[in-house]
A and B are shown apart, each in its own frame.
Chain A
Amino acid sequence: MENPEKANEEFYIGWQPMSPVAQMRFTRKISLLILVCVLFIASAFVYFQKGFSSSQFEYGDVTTISGMLTMTPFPMLSVNHGMDMDGQAVIQQIVLVGAGKHGAEAYIQQVEKKYGGQLDFSNVTISGFLIYHDGHTLMEVKELVPANPDKAPSTIPFTMSGEAYGSISGEIADPKCFFGVMKPGFGKPHLSCAARCIAGGIPPVLKSSTASGEAHYYIIVDHDGNPCNYSILPFVGDRVFLHGRIKTSGDWQFIFVDDLDKIVRVPDEMAYEGITCNTIQH
């Protein structure tokens, strides 16, 4: 049987200002233990999580750049960086995107209205935030102004070359987030966001990794080279096979998907992503 005096002492009541001494010691020990667990969990989570990519988004850091604007299939800016050692023009293609989860198209159309004319294939100056990763560059457009029309064009017009034909497997992602705005900008947690970005007009890309881990990116367009964002929406974030012509323009590759109704998901058991065939080379 308990000693009544002791029992009295040991009874904890929260509304009393002091807790019994033995109880206080115990509470202190438990609190310390919990704090140690808290520290452990914080460290363990960070330690065991996968890292993030080294992609960059220079948010708030405005860059101004001039070049030739092309609107199809998606707004892009071709920037002439002069000649290389062989006397070849060095052209950089920058994919233009809008603020948030929007493509740049709507904003450029506003600018066209304001200046009363088409800007496709004209020289413009753009200020915005650069996004870059793996040798590819995008820009979130803040401001676009047409360059002086009297000035001679400084860039070589946008062209596509090097056509191949094949099947590529990979994950459909939105390049804005994937190339730097969000970390991680891919995988399951990112699926919904990618769907919003692609529905908002940001060009979808197929990210395809070879067995050695090297990644290739293909901007996805339909058979005729037009945007097909809505047709591929159900497959965003998914691993799929895309079949069609592959073309290159500057630092970007495009896949012209043959039949958007016949996109096939990569079976789960197939771990390997990559280019499965690469047949016709022109």
Chain B
Amino acid sequence: MGHQYQVVSWNRQKRIYDGVVLTGILLFFGAFTLLQLKLHPEITFETLIIRATAVLAFLMLHIILCIGPLARLDKRFLPLLYNRRHLGVIMSLIALTHGVFSIYQFHALGNVNPILSVFISNPNYNSIGLFPFQILGFFALIIILIMASTSHDFWLHNLSPKVWKSLHMMVYLAYFLLVGHVILGVLQMEQSPYLIGLLALGAGIVTSLQWSAGSKKRNQEIGKEQVQDPFVKVCRVDDIAENRAKTVLIGKENIAVFKYDQKLSAVNNLCRHQNGPLGEGKILDGCITCPWHGYQYLPHNGQSPPPFTEKVETYDVKLIDGWVYVNPTPYAEGTPVEPCPIHSIIARN
């Protein structure tokens, strides 16, 4: 399923996804505006826009950052991941509205260029209390816009998944900058313990989810005692469900061992699309199918079925007394490897 960018794939599930996102946005703006007008009828239009877009974009960023680890921890969250890039692009547009309105309201129509004004109007760079918090938002917005404009698979392909992935890791930097933007900005003026509490709750949820998903990954690592040179013991063959895989991390090699049609095959666990966990996918119509966006690979050679061209590394697998062993030295991407048959062993057991 490579080269998806050539096909404008807009299916029912994507439409539902975007519909839910849109509903959420309308609900937010509706509730925010109605309540502001009821509790604070003296609010100006600009402040209403600036605040509504700020809070919504920041909230959406929290949701975006939680989806990844949630899907890692519980596969039922995968549908949220599938169209996450739309969520990201919409969030970036809302954040841009906040940035543009803020710059217009606070910096335009003056005696210097508005963007320059963001940087020079408050020169207290060496103070924490008076720090010009706007620049933190400014750089976060730049990062968010770069990510949104390169989110298309076209860029993923042209930048190589590795560069693309590191580019998109900058979202954590953006998040960090924004926490500063909020703490040093509006929270210093509002000083409401409830708003501070909400921010702490948000940051707490994001960091703990990221941490637990990260530690789940670390737990897969294989201990040294399981090494049977050059093969490493993975698990009992019975521990792998039919058409599913077991993943292991041996040194730097992230490997998925699949069981299908009384055979075992091992491929690299990282999908060439966006490094999705192939080992959490499933064999469908004879192809390993990535759980994230459905890219497919043949288990015996790690190649996407034609006309697609994605390839992952393959590995030697063997079975001894019902134990699965894998050789962590990879073959080049797309190298055919004879699958290891299971039936004889099972018969012997």
Q: Output the least CB separation between B119 and chain A (Å).
A: 9
Residue ID in chain A nearest B123 by CB atoms:
A234
B residues near A42, Cβ cutoff 8 Å? 27-28, 31-32, 35, 52, 55-56
Q: Does any Cβ of B come within 8 Å of A162's Cβ?
A: no
A15 and B31 contact, Cβ closer than 8 Å, known pairs A49-B192, A188-B185: no
CA distance A161 to B63 in the complex (A): 61
Neighbouring A residues of B281 by C-beta, 8 Å: 11
Q: Report whether B110 and A45 are in contact in the complex, using a CB–CB cutoff of 8 Å.
A: no
Given the complex, which residues of A lie within 8 Å of B108, measured CB to CB? 100-101
B106 contacts across to A, CB distance below 8 A:
182, 189-190, 192-193, 196
Which residues of chain B are near A187, meaning CB under 8 Å?
A: 188-189
Chain B 292-304 near chain A by CB (<8 Å), digits 1 or 0: 1110000000000
B80 within 8 A of A: yes
User: Which of B41-49, B160-168, B209-217, B306-314 is the interface stretch?
Assistant: B41-49
CB closest residue in chain A, given B46: A182
Across the interface, do A192 and B118 meet the contact criterion of CB distance under 8 Å? yes
Size of the chain B interface, CB-CB below 8 angstroms = 77
Q: Are A50 and B189 in contact (CB under 8 A)?
A: yes
Determine if B76 is an interface residue (Cβ-Cβ < 8 Å): yes
Which of the residues A27, A49, A51, A237 comes within 8 Å of B195, measured between beta carbons? Answer: A49
**Contact in complex: A38, B24 (CB < 8 Å):** yes
Given the interface contacts A14-B83, A30-B77, A183-B47, does A192 sit within 8 Å of B31 by beta carbon?
Answer: no
The answer to whether B79 has its CB under 8 Å from any CB of chain A is: yes
Q: Which of the 9-residue segments A18-26, A150-158, A209-217 touches chain B?
A: A18-26
Q: Indicate which residue in B129, B192, B243 contacts A50 across the interface (CB closer than 8 Å).
A: B192
Query: Which residues, 33 to 65 on B, are CB-close (under 8 Å) to A?
Result: 35-36, 39-40, 42-44, 46-47, 51-52, 55-56, 59, 63
B8 at the interface (CB under 8 A from A): no
Is residue B157 within 8 Å, beta carbon to beta carbon, of the partner chain? no
- A176: min CB distance to chain B, Å: 11
> Is the Cβ of A196 less than 8 Å from the Cβ of B28?
no
Q: 1/0 per residue B209-253: CB within 8 Å of A?
A: 000000000000000000000000000001001111000000000
- B-binding segment of A1-9, A86-94, A111-119, A247-255: A1-9
Q: Mark B119-151, 1 if CB is under 8 A from A, else 0.
A: 001110000011011100000000000000000
A43 an interface residue at 8 Å Cβ cutoff? yes
Contact A197 B110 (CB under 8 A): yes
Interface residues of A in 131-186 (CB under 8 A from B): 181-184
Q: Is A204 an interface residue (CB 8 A)?
A: no
By the criterion CB–CB under 8 Å, are B11 and A46 in contact?
Answer: no
Q: Which residue of A lies closest to B111 (CB)?
A: A200
Asked if B1 is at the interface of the complex by the 8 Å CB criterion, the answer is yes
Is B117 part of the binding interface, using a Cβ–Cβ cutoff of 8 Å?
A: yes
| Contact assessment for B195 and A48 in the assembled complex, using a CB-CB cutoff below 8 Å | yes
Q: Are A35 and B12 in contact (CB under 8 A)?
A: no
Task: Tell me, yes or no, whether A54 is within 8 Å of chain B by CB.
Answer: yes
Residues in A with CB closer than 8 Å to B189 are 50, 184, 187-189
Chain A hits for B123, CB < 8 A: 234
The total number of A-B Cβ pairs within 8 Å is 206
Within 8 A of B (CB), among A215-237: 234, 237
A13 at the interface (CB under 8 A from B): yes
A55, A102, A193: which has the most chain B beta carbons within 10 Å? A193
Tell whether B115 is near chain A: CB-to-CB under 8 Å: no
Q: Are B42 and A54 in contact (CB under 8 A)?
A: yes
Q: Given A52-B43, A188-B189, does the pair A196, B80 have CB atoms closer than 8 Å?
A: no
Given the interface contacts A99-B109, A101-B109, does A16 sit within 8 Å of B51 by beta carbon?
Answer: no
Please determine whether B105 and A196 come into contact, CB atoms closer than 8 angstroms.
Answer: no
Measured between beta carbons, the chain A residues less than 8 angstroms from B110 are 100-102, 196-197, 199-200
B42 with A35: CB separation less than 8 A: no
Once bound together, how far apart are the Cα atoms of A53 and B44, in whole Å?
A: 11
Query: Which of A34, A182, A195 touches B122 (beta carbons < 8 Å)?
Result: A195
The yes or no answer to A275 lying at the interface (CB within 8 A) is no
Interface string of B60-74 (1 = CB under 8 A from A): 000100000000000
Measured between C-beta atoms, what is the minimum distance from A35 to chain B in Å?
5
Contact of A46 among B32, B118, B186, B244 (CB under 8 A): B32
Q: Are B43 and A183 in contact (CB under 8 A)?
A: yes
With a CB–CB cut-off of 8 A, which chain B residues contact A193? 105-107, 121
Q: Which residues of B contact A54 (CB under 8 A)?
A: 42
Q: In the complex, which residue of chain A has the Cβ closest to the Cβ of B189? A: A187
Determine which of B24, B192, B242, B291 lies in contact with A34 in the assembled complex, contact meaning CB atoms within 8 Å.
B24
Verify B109–A12 contact, CB threshold 8 A.
no
Q: Closest chain B residue to A194 by CB distance?
A: B121
For the complex, give the distance between the alpha carbons of A11 and B53 in Å: 36
A14 to B281, CA, bound (A): 12
Convert A265-276 into 0s and 1s, putting 1 for each residue whose CB lies closer than 8 angstroms to a CB of B.
000100000000
Q: How far is the CA of A4 from the CA of B241 in the complex (A)?
A: 8
CB distance from A205 to the nearest CB of B (A): 18
- Indicate if the CB atoms of B111 and A39 lie closer than 8 Å: no
Question: Are A14 and B241 CB-contacts (below 8 A) given A102-B109, A192-B118?
Answer: no
* Additional A-B contacts beyond A14-B79, A14-B294, A44-B194 (7; CB < 8 A): A18-B13, A41-B198, A49-B195, A50-B189, A101-B109, A191-B132, A192-B118
The list of the 9 closest CB pairs from A to B, nearest first, reads A100-B109, A14-B82, A192-B121, A101-B110, A196-B110, A187-B189, A193-B106, A42-B31, A195-B121
23 CB < 8 A contacts A-B: A4-B243, A14-B294, A16-B13, A17-B11, A18-B13, A19-B79, A42-B52, A44-B198, A45-B32, A45-B198, A48-B192, A55-B42, A101-B110, A102-B109, A102-B111, A188-B189, A189-B106, A189-B185, A196-B107, A196-B110, A199-B111, A237-B130, A268-B129
